[in-house]
Amino acid sequence: MLQNRVDPDGQLHAVPERMGWYGNKGCLHDEAGRIRRFHQGRRWITCVLSFKGRRRSLLQPGRYTELFFLDEATAYAAGHRPCAECRRAAFNQFRDLWQARFGEGDVTAIDARLHTARWDGKGRRLHGVDAREVPVGAMIRRGGDTLLHGANGWHRWSFSGYTEIAPPQGTVAMLTPLPLAQLMAEGLAVQNLVDGGASN
């Protein structure tokens, strides 16, 4: 079983559950296919599972590590953005919202700002916010749990799906990088298994 299923914290796991999205953040594995690093570079993307009939052998030496996500909300929480090739329409919406919010539309600048927001050089960067201000589609960390704010309430994340829980109160640690959460608050569409929608 390959260690290429991504949790909302961006960590990789070897689990049997099937995932709904695909992506990468560089070559993370060695010649034997063992995961050796958390990321390589700043270009972290989310892709569709199938595009123009392309097929790849997984974890090829020297090639990017193929990653899989439960849903798009998981990929956003982990700090990934839409791919500009296989998800062009989603990327265009993302870029337009980003440019309106931050005044930049160049993909290199987007990736640089995103990287600063999700990574502090030692690990994931969290943001303390009031639970009432977490936008729909974003995730928070509470104790050992990761919670999704869905359109109809809060749910605990797992590789097998979500379970409904009581709403958190007070200040919470937002896991979804702040720029992405800001775009969600301004209308960025986020597919998740709680609210439905096709998985890419």
Task: Confirm whether 160 is domain-assigned.
Answer: yes
**Average pLDDT in the 177-182 region?**
97
For residue range 150-177, list pLDDT tens digits in order.
999 999 999 999 999 999 999 999 999 9
Confidence of residue 61 (pLDDT cuts 50, 70, 90): confident
The range of the structural domain enclosing residue 136 comes to: 5-185
Task: Confirm whether 197 is domain-assigned.
Answer: no
Q: Do residues 186 and 147 lie in contact, with contact meaning Cβ atoms separated by under 8 Å?
A: no
Q: How far apart are CA 115 and CA 96, in angstroms?
A: 19
Task: Confirm whether 123 is domain-assigned.
Answer: yes
Question: Which DSSP string corresponds to 171-193?
Answer: EEEE-S-HHHHHHHHTT----BT
pLDDT value for 200: 54
Q: Is the pLDDT of residue 87 over 90?
A: yes
Helix, strand, coil content of the chain in percent (nearest 5): 20, 25, 50
**Higher pLDDT, residue 97 or 52:** 97
Which tokens is 187 given? Answer: 């209308």
Q: How far apart are CA 169 and CA 175, in angstroms?
A: 16
Task: Confirm whether 191 is domain-assigned.
Answer: no
Q: How far apart are CA 73 and CA 153, in angstroms?
A: 14
Task: Confirm whether 193 is domain-assigned.
Answer: no
Total tally of structural domains belonging to the chain: 1
Q: What is the pTM of this model?
A: 0.93
Q: Do residues 123 and 175 lie in contact, with contact meaning Cβ atoms separated by under 8 Å?
A: no
pLDDT value for 92: 96
Task: Confirm whether 179 is domain-assigned.
Answer: yes
For residue range 99-109, list pLDDT tens digits in order.
999 998 899 99
Task: Confirm whether 196 is domain-assigned.
Answer: no
How many CB atoms are closer than 10 A to CB 57? 7
Q: Is the pLDDT of residue 199 over 60?
A: no
Task: Confirm whether 57 is domain-assigned.
Answer: yes
